């Protein structure tokens, strides 16, 4: 498609499609808005960890079935998938929401705060929605209700993906978007484009943020095991000290980002979050273990980080008389969350209609990870954020995601509903030429 044709297509979408669609769906969106808040607060009060979202999945499945949407449960353990076939032929679009909470005890003074406790990796923990997945589920339930009420006008098919274990499954289990994708969630019918959103506690309510290309980082966990020769702390020359070697390795790893990655292209991160070994001050141990993560915003930088991690750790260890084993990736490994540039440009007017052109902002890439990336690896995807910070609360007073004090303002979840409805209808009504029936 030439630039002229692309510009014309976008102009037609702005001039005709979105405005009509938003006006048409506005009454249904207004009607479902209080339900979305009610669902969100109920789910918030009853959070569940990855691969254990049985209550949430049952709530979602019952809602979809009541709407007459073909519903499949038990996908990737507890996932729910709904397929809404429109009244007219057309392509297939997928809308995704994640369902799981985190092993944290909630401190926020909310009337619907979580009191749930459960077992996680062998320990008793509190459970809370410390990343806003409760809002994502409630928004997509609202979108399903709006679209189901208008199925006769839908030119194609909408697939609703309610995904478990975005934060990762328990140790020894598989799950999340990767498993859903492997089990064929993007097939039968084959999905042409996928959209997802995330609430952002730092973004002001009513606004939307987006970024073409790499929008969230890849994430690769790693383990480095340093084996030396133990000795008495008074006679270190009689051994090979893995503690000193580990300290040098940790320092040297930081040169990967500062000296190997082209930071003018995109950010990268190497972090060591855990180091263990030894049990007395006067005994030099035989072994030290370190755990950490690598994060990158392009596939090329991701591969560079993996390669250099092994090179630097093993060679520094060798130089100090120790043997080093590097395991990467270890457990969870997320690709770069990549927003297809053509799809993002095509759908930007839809986001602007949903929130207002002055409330849609280009944002910088984040070095957090998101397993929506597994869907966007297979089909063109667009992942965006909606605001959850009250207008009268400064960013400096906002609790971060994944913390016990995390909270969001749910007064404008309608923006998420509007955006998802708009994206789905605009894509189906005016798909790329190759997908037109």
pLDDT in tens, 99-142: 999 999 999 999 999 999 999 988 999 999 999 999 999 999 99
Give me the percent of the chain exceeding a pLDDT of 90: 90
Backbone φ and ψ for 423, nearest 5 degrees, come out as -60, -50
Which is higher by pLDDT, 331 or 19? Answer: 331
Active-site annotation, residues: 100, 166
**Residue 25: its pLDDT value, please?**
93
Nearest by Cα to 367 from 267, 256, 271: 267
On average, the pLDDT of the chain sits at: 94
Helices 17-45 and 133-148: angle between axes, nearest 10 degrees: 130
Where does 69-205 show beta strands of DSSP type E?
Answer: 70-75, 79-85, 88-98, 117-120, 123-126, 155-163, 193-204
- Residue 364 pLDDT grade (very low, low, confident, very high; cuts 50, 70, 90): very high
Q: What's the rounded mean pLDDT across residues 20-27? A: 79
Are the beta carbons of 335 and 374 closer than 8 angstroms?
Answer: yes
| pLDDT of 435 over the 90 cut | no
| pLDDT of 270 over the 70 cut | yes
Where does 228-372 show beta strands of DSSP type E?
Answer: 231-232, 268-276, 283-284, 287-296, 323-327, 333-334, 337-339, 360-362
**Residue 23: its pLDDT value, please?**
78
| pLDDT of 22 over the 90 cut | no
Q: Is the peptide bond before 329 cis (omega within 30 degrees of 0)?
A: yes
Nearest by Cα to 421 from 5, 31, 12: 31
| pLDDT of 245 over the 80 cut | yes
Are the beta carbons of 214 and 365 closer than 8 angstroms?
Answer: yes
**Residue 121: its pLDDT value, please?**
83
**Residue 18: its pLDDT value, please?**
58
| pLDDT of 213 over the 60 cut | yes
Q: How far apart are the first and last CA of the chain?
A: 18
What the block records as the tokens of 117 is 């406790």
**Residue 54: its pLDDT value, please?**
98
**Residue 433: its pLDDT value, please?**
76
Where does 228-313 show beta strands of DSSP type E?
Answer: 231-232, 268-276, 283-284, 287-296
Q: Name the one residue in this structure whose structure tokens are 């002001």.
A: 204
**In whole angstroms, what is the distance from residue 43 CA to residue 59 CA?**
9
Residue 97 burial (CB < 10 Å; 0-12/13-18/19+)? buried
Let me know if domain 3-216+336-435 sits in CATH 3.40.630.10: yes
Q: Is the peptide bond before 189 cis (omega within 30 degrees of 0)?
A: yes
Q: Which residues of 196-232 are buried (b: 16+ CB within 10 A; e: fewer)?
A: bbbbbbbbbbbbbbbbbebbbbbbbbbbbbbbbeebe
Range from 17-31, 120-134, 210-224, 313-327 carrying the lowest mean pLDDT: 17-31
What the block records as the tokens of 154 is 């839908």
**Residue 16: its pLDDT value, please?**
44
Which class is domain 218-333?
Answer: alpha beta
Are the beta carbons of 144 and 67 closer than 8 angstroms?
Answer: yes
Sorted by where each begins, the domain ranges of the chain are 3-216+336-435, 218-333
**In whole angstroms, what is the distance from residue 434 CA to residue 437 CA?**
9
**In whole angstroms, what is the distance from residue 112 CA to residue 128 CA?**
11
**Residue 15: its pLDDT value, please?**
40
């Amino acid at each position: 498609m030439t630039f002229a044709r692309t510009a014309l297509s976008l102009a037609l979408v702005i001039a005709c499609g979105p405005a009509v669609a938003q006006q048409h769906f506005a009454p249904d969106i207004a009607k479902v808005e209080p339900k979305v808040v009610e669902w969100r607060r109920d789910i918030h009060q009853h959070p569940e960890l990855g691969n254990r979202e049985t209550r949430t999945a049952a709530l979602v499945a019952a809602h979809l079935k009541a709407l007459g949407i073909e519903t499949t449960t038990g996908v990737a353990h507890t996932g729910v998938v709904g397929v809404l076939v429109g009244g007219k032929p057309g392509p297939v679009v997928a809308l995704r929401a994640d369902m799981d909470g985190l092993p944290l005890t909630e401190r926020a003074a909310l009337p619907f705060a979580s009191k749930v406790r459960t077992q996680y990796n062998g320990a008793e923990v509190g459970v809370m929605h410390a990343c806003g997945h409760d809002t994502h589920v409630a928004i997509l339930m609202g979108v399903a209700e709006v679209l189901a009420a208008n199925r006769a006008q839908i030119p194609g098919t909408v697939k609703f993906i309610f995904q478990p274990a975005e934060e990762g499954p328990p140790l020894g289990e598989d799950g999340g978007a990767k498993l859903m994708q492997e089990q064929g969630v993007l097939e039968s019918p084959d999905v042409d484009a996928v959209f997802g959103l995330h609430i952002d506690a730092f973004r002001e309510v009513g606004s939307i943020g987006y970024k073409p290309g790499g929008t969230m980082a890849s994430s690769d966990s790693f383990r480095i095991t340093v084996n030396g020769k133990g000795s008495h702390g008074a006679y270190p020359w009689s051994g090979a000290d893995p503690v000193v070697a580990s300290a040098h390795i940790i320092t040297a790893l930081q040169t990967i980002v500062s000296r190997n990655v082209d930071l003018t292209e995109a950010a990268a991160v190497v972090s060591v979050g855990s180091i263990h070994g030894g049990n007395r001050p006067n005994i030099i141990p035989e072994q030290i273990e370190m755990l950490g993560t690598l994060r990158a915003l392009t596939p090329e930088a991701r591969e560079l980080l993996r390669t250099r991690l092994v090179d630097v750790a093993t060679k520094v260890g060798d130089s100090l008389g120790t043997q080093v084993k590097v395991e990467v990736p270890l457990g969870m490994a997320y690709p770069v969350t990549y927003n297809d540039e053509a799809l993002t440009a095509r759908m930007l007017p839809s986001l602007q209609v949903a929130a207002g052109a002055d409330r849609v902002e280009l944002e910088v890439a984040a070095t957090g990870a998101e397993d929506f990336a597994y869907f966007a690896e297979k089909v063109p995807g667009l992942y965006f954020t909606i605001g959850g910070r009250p207008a009268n609360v400064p960013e400096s007073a906002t609790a971060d995601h994944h913390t016990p004090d995390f909270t969001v303002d749910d007064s404008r979840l309608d923006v998420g509903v509007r955006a998802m409805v708009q994206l789905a209808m605009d894509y189906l009504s005016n798909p790329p030429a190759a997908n037109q029936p």
